[in-house]
Structure 1
Amino acid sequence: MAWTQKTTEISRQRGAITLRSLLLLFTSGLLLLVLIAAASVSFDRFRDYMSNQLQGHARDGATAIGLSLSNAIDGRDPVASASLIDAVFDSGRYLSVVYMNNQGEDVAGRETSLREVDVPDWFVALADLPLPAGEAEVVRGWSQLGKVRVVSHPGRAYEDLWAVTVRMVAGSALIGGLGLVGLFWMVTRLMRPLSAVEKQARALGKRDFRRRVNLTSTRELNQVTLAMNQMADDLGRLFEGQAKLIQHLRKVNNEDSLTGLASRRAFEQRLKVEVESEERAAPGVLFTLQLEEFAEYNQSYGREEADRLLIRVADALEAFVRRHGDSFAGRMTGAGFAVFLPGVSRADGVIWCRQLVEELDGIYSEMSAPMDVSVHAGIAQAAENRTVRDLISAADEALRQVQAEQGSTCHAADLDRPEHHDSEEWRSIIEEAIARERLSLWLQPMVRASDDQVLFHQVFSRIKTVDGWIKAGAFVPMAERFGMIPDIDRWVLVRSLTLLRLQPEASLAMSLGMGSVASETFRQELLERLSAAGKERCRLQIGISEQAIHHHRTAVGLLVRALNRLKVPVLVDRFGVGGVPFSYLRNLRFQALRIDNSFVHDIDTHDDNRFYLESVTTIAKSRGVRVYVTGVETASEYSTLQGIGIDGAMGYHLGRPFEAVDSGQAP
């Protein structure tokens, strides 16, 4: 309903007359009325003048003929009178010349009708000059012989009046045209600031507060431009303040204040989603790491050096996490850390954990020399029906076992549990799935929070094996490590565009892997395919994870701006876990945010996450950005999210994924 009203309003605005057109129309109409009035007055006065001239001419002609008949010619002689009248009439300046006796009988005379004149007939009818008659007496001595009646011919008067009218209209049109041209130039020049203000207002609507209006015009318009510039500055500062508030809330709720890693509470919350959530649960391994003898190091070198050590260790963990897609790290205790790698087998986890321990041992030993220090790690594998508490306990137990050994090393728990695929098996599975197209497109609905109507469907891939379907959450992290994610995203893009072409009413959203965003080749191919897709590209939302925004700022900026030019909606995926300042929304035009599952899981009992999500929703909506959430698995979670005011939600509670088939199953 709201969309319909908005469309109607826009249509009305498009049909409304512009201010410049209104000013020009009013002024030109007023000028036209003035010119018409002036021309009418001039025409009437000249017409009256010509009528007076005709009347004087007729009177003079009658007097001259009367005198001639009275003195030069004997007016009693009809033949002589007729000769005189013929001579006068043949001059062509009279319509009628009649000599009548005292009884009113015609003695002599000539008459003719109004001859054709060189003016349009409609003008003759419009002017309609009166034909006054001039009269004079004819006398002989003291006797009155009769009188002469003369009517002047108006032909020349019509021609003169027509010539004057043409020149007057032409002059008025020339003056009016020059006046309108001058008025158009002046109004256009005066209205230029308004056009600039309109562009500035549109930029403000897109959260671009950098545009300024520097044009000058009238005093009133200058005041408007100054006010708009001030408003842009104020909104920019307001946005900066809101962005800093969001960043502060994120740090308070999710980050360790010293290292910038996830806090223990945030790490366990996100780990809970990865391990216990039905939607995201996938194999993976957990590392718990401990810097041994840290208390002695702190006492010997002081707090500042201890903090510097922890920061260097955190930087090494961040670098390790970046090399392993979808993995994350957190600080658990003073010198204790944890890392979770989704989709990784125990065997691969042991190899990577040893490499990490060696790297951390090098940092620790370098900064603590000549002290004898070590780094220990415990490894536990996530498995079905294993809770977060069980997983952390198993990793801690493995850590305690290795702490009894000398030197830096790691130990894996749960050796009796069945192994998952190792890295080589994963590589083989993914390569074969891509080469033989054993991937399948799956859809999951995103519903509108206000009425549970489907807004669009999220698309993702699954791999079909003899043992069943493998979720994207299990193989995508491995595909990221092997550099295969662009091939998978390319396959999903092609199938999604095909589905949109087959389903004209469908709307889809797909998320790009970090490797795809970083690949210039993939970005170029993505834009080319979307450009060639036609109108259906506008029904495909492209999701870019916040981690990708954090690690590939330049590439993301180029991609988002190119997608904006193609009118392809762009959303921030997995919002809240990338550690990116919220201010990036000021410089990049995203249409929506999709909150990460870790903030949604158990939100009905998690006050901090609920407050954070309320703040994000309020600020995002004030910027015209929609807010979606994923991972909704209970009615209580959904009810809480509806109260917050989100735009849409997705999760197993609202709709499970289903396979998109070629038979035309409507998504």
Structure 2
Amino acid sequence: MARKQILLKRRQQGVVTLRTMLLVLTGGLLVTLLIAVFITSFGYFRNYVSDQLAGHARDGATAIGLSLSNAIDGRDPVASASLIDAVFDSGRYLSVSYLNHQGEQVAGRAMTLNKVAVPAWFRTFADLPLPIAEAEVVRGWSRLGTVQVISHPGRAYEDLWRITIGLTASTAVIGGIGLFAVFLLLRRTLRPLHALEDQARALGQRDFRKRVSIKSTREINQVTDAMNQMAGDLGQLFEGQAKLIQHLRRVNNEDSVTGLASRGAFDQRLKVEVESEEKAAPGVLILIQLADFSGYNQAYGRSEADRLLLRVATVIAEFVRQHAGSFAGRRTGAEFAIFLPGVMPADAGVWCRQLVNDLDGVYSDLASPMDTAVHAGLARTLEGRGARDLMAAADEALRTAQSSNGTGCHLADPEKDGHHNLETWRVIISEAIRRQTLSLWLQPMVHEGRLMPVYHQVFSRIDSVEGALKAGTFVPMAERFGLISDIDRLLVQRVLDRLKDLPDQPLAVSLGNASVANEAFRTDLLEQLGQAGSLARNLWIGISEQTIHHHRTAVGLLVRALGRLGVPVLVDRFGVGGVPFSYLRNLRFQGLRIDNSFIHDIDTHEDNRFYIESVVAIAHSRGVKVFATGVETAAEYSVLCKLGVDGAMGYHLGRPFAADNQQTGD
């Protein structure tokens, strides 16, 4: 796609602009007119000078003839020669000859045309004629001979040269002023066209924000007003569609009071995280409940109760933001649920105790003088334990915590020996970065109408003594330790090295939240991609919607810089970041990747089908591709194809495989 845009831009740049065409046409006409005037004037002055030269020769011949006929005896050669010498020495004649009846020269003088103060090329170009003027010499009734005179053209050439210089200078000045005036007139008149061209290009890229305010002629002003109105109408249409999508997402997936995920949306996403063959990874579920919330509701009223729930949700949302990949939701009343993927129960217990203490502080401040408490139950994922069983285990742990006095947490199924603690995870990840024991695994993003995958999604795994650790296991820890930028930097370099060997196999990588927010990482990433040249255009860069929500400035800088390099960018985990859909209006993305939770069992979820159908329609109207992930059944893939997605990925369509040996992994 980026290659097509570059070729189109080159073709557009090769087309002559309207201003250039009009300038060449009017300028050509002006220059032609001036050249015609110059040629006509030059010819007129040349003829004038030639006539003057011929008249001078005739006058000279007549004067000499009369002198030889009357004042001087033309039969005396010496006297005739003296007269001719006197006339010739004036320097105004090229040749003066006195011939007898037999054509023999009686007396005469001549000189060559050498010393003329004009360039030789001009003398050749002008080529003034040299007419021979004749006069009879008579004595009485006797004819003695003929006088032949040729005027010297030197002064004529000099006069014509000065006239030519004046004509050339005046023509150049008039032509320059005329062309400059035409240029200014065309630039002022056609100035809105350049702005209209930029606006049309922006509309082609589904950017409806640009307006043209430059005024010109009446006709162009009407076109400008029409374009501005169309851009405004399209922008309002998109804004309305975006608000509709946002409303649908909130109605179907968000709790109206707290803004957290609704019970159904949380359960659906939890089911994907726990039961999905593709997403299943270690994690901990936390159930939190405010004690005696019904009493608070009765004492302070519904509005204050909602205010309390909102304050609690704000604290929980901040907690979730600090743990990569985690998500939270409100279940019923004052009960909340949080899932922490890729963490061990011991670590989750430490974080949970801090969280419930913070929540207890909020609760006690608002409920004073009531006695308050906050309880939490934790349960970890186990092999064969589904989402319902995990929820039941966490609920049982919550009831156990409630049986004790005061605020507290309880962990179901205490962790057995052999699991990694935080420091062990730090060592494993740091060693993997230092020794570069990071392997690439690929999963195809396929399209129903294409033989070859749209691209291959790249996953990283750490090769350890315990085997290959999946990204879902170690990435949350890497985010917590601030090591995700180093992992992403190494991952991008490995991917670019693979593209050098297989340039026709597009790849996609997803960046961590902290990586996008890190200015040093963004600088290194752009440098890596810039050095890769055209290969970088075959690499899709994924940025999660949650990252867009929390780091809008950094995301904006990165997306614009990647756009200048021609690198396609997609929104990863679309639909769960809680971001207004209108960010697509401000940032130029090439793709959206729908989160797994919307895809799981989509063949039986009418709300999710309608939501994705609406997203596809709006995204395609802006030239943005829509991809789906987590496809695990043929029924899901069939529905997605009917909805018009541009690609799908999942265990049903292709399992991840090692990039080095094509080995399929689970």
| TMscore range, shorter length | 0.7 to 0.9
**Counterpart-to-counterpart distance in 1, 2:269 and 2:592:** 18
Aligned to 2:143: 145
SS in 1 for 2:608: helix
Letter in 2 for 1:511: S
Aligned to 1:241: 240
Distance 1:370 1:130, change over 3 A: closer
Aligned to 1:34: 33
1:329: Cα distance to partner? 1.6
Letter in 2 for 1:615: S
Pairing of 1:180-191 with structure 2 (within 5 A): 180-181=179-180, 183-184=182-183, 187=186
**Counterpart-to-counterpart distance in 1, 2:113 and 2:520:** 89
Aligned to 1:547: 546
Distance 1:123 1:432, change over 3 A: closer
Task: List per-residue Cα deviations over 1:213-246 (Å, max 9, x = no partner).
Answer: 5656666666666666555555554444343233
Verify the 8 A CA contact 1:135 1:147 in the aligned structure 2.
no
Verify the 8 A CA contact 2:503 2:538 in the aligned structure 1.
no
**Counterpart-to-counterpart distance in 2, 1:99 and 1:427:** 123
Aligned to 1:421: 419
Letter in 2 for 1:322: R
Distance 1:38 1:629, change over 3 A: same
1:641: Cα distance to partner? 2.7
Aligned to 1:115: 113
Query: TM-score w.r.t. structure 2 length?
Result: 0.83
Aligned to 2:644: 645
Point out the more displaced range, 112-121 or 31-40: 112-121
Verify the 8 A CA contact 1:345 1:420 in the aligned structure 2.
no
Point out the more displaced range, 459-468 or 356-365: 356-365
SS in 2 for 1:628: strand
**Counterpart-to-counterpart distance in 1, 2:617 and 2:418:** 43
Distance 1:177 1:323, change over 3 A: closer
Point out the more displaced range, 177-186 or 626-635: 177-186
Aligned to 2:340: 341
1:328: Cα distance to partner? 1.3
1:269 paired with 2:268, answer yes
Distance 1:310 1:153, change over 3 A: same
Task: List per-residue Cα deviations over 1:554-588 (Å, max 9, x = no partner).
Answer: 44445445555666544322111111112333444
Letter in 2 for 1:442: W
**Counterpart-to-counterpart distance in 1, 2:36 and 2:387:** 92
Aligned to 1:513: 512
Verify the 8 A CA contact 2:128 2:153 in the aligned structure 1.
no
Distance 1:478 1:163, change over 3 A: closer
Aligned to 1:155: 153
1:112: Cα distance to partner? 5.4
Aligned to 2:62: 63
**Counterpart-to-counterpart distance in 2, 1:151 and 1:644:** 103
Aligned to 2:473: 474
Gap regions ≥5 residues in structure 1: none
Aligned to 2:280: 281
SS in 1 for 2:280: coil
**Counterpart-to-counterpart distance in 2, 1:112 and 1:349:** 121
Aligned to 1:43: 42
Aligned to 1:633: 632
Distance 1:559 1:365, change over 3 A: same
Verify the 8 A CA contact 1:450 1:647 in the aligned structure 2.
no
Point out the more displaced range, 545-554 or 491-500: 491-500
SS in 2 for 1:333: coil
Verify the 8 A CA contact 2:62 2:135 in the aligned structure 1.
yes
Aligned to 1:442: 441
Verify the 8 A CA contact 2:130 2:153 in the aligned structure 1.
no
1:16: Cα distance to partner? 2.7
**Counterpart-to-counterpart distance in 2, 1:387 and 1:419:** 23
Query: TM-score w.r.t. structure 1 length?
Result: 0.83
Aligned to 2:315: 316
1:536: Cα distance to partner? 5.0
Point out the more displaced range, 431-440 or 153-162: 431-440
SS in 1 for 2:589: coil
Verify the 8 A CA contact 1:131 1:151 in the aligned structure 2.
no
Verify the 8 A CA contact 1:600 1:630 in the aligned structure 2.
yes
**Counterpart-to-counterpart distance in 2, 1:162 and 1:70:** 38
Aligned to 2:168: 169
Distance 1:186 1:276, change over 3 A: same
1:491: Cα distance to partner? 3.4
Identity %: 63
Aligned to 1:656: 655
**Counterpart-to-counterpart distance in 2, 1:475 and 1:286:** 18
SS in 2 for 1:454: coil
Verify the 8 A CA contact 1:380 1:394 in the aligned structure 2.
yes
Verify the 8 A CA contact 1:353 1:410 in the aligned structure 2.
yes
SS in 2 for 1:620: helix
Task: List per-residue Cα deviations over 1:123-164 (Å, max 9, x = no partner).
Answer: 4554444454545455554x3536635343352334433332
**Counterpart-to-counterpart distance in 1, 2:535 and 2:636:** 34
Q: What's the C-alpha RMSD, in Å, of the aligned pairs?
A: 4.1
Distance 1:662 1:188, change over 3 A: farther
Letter in 2 for 1:599: F
Verify the 8 A CA contact 1:346 1:419 in the aligned structure 2.
no
**Counterpart-to-counterpart distance in 2, 1:629 and 1:496:** 22
Letter in 1 for 2:50: S
**Counterpart-to-counterpart distance in 2, 1:487 and 1:5:** 33
**Counterpart-to-counterpart distance in 2, 1:514 and 1:130:** 90
Q: How many residues align?
A: 659
Gap regions ≥5 residues in structure 2: none
Pairing of 1:515-594 with structure 2 (within 5 A): 515-519=514-518, 522-523=521-522, 526=525, 537-561=536-560, 563-564=562-563, 568-594=567-593
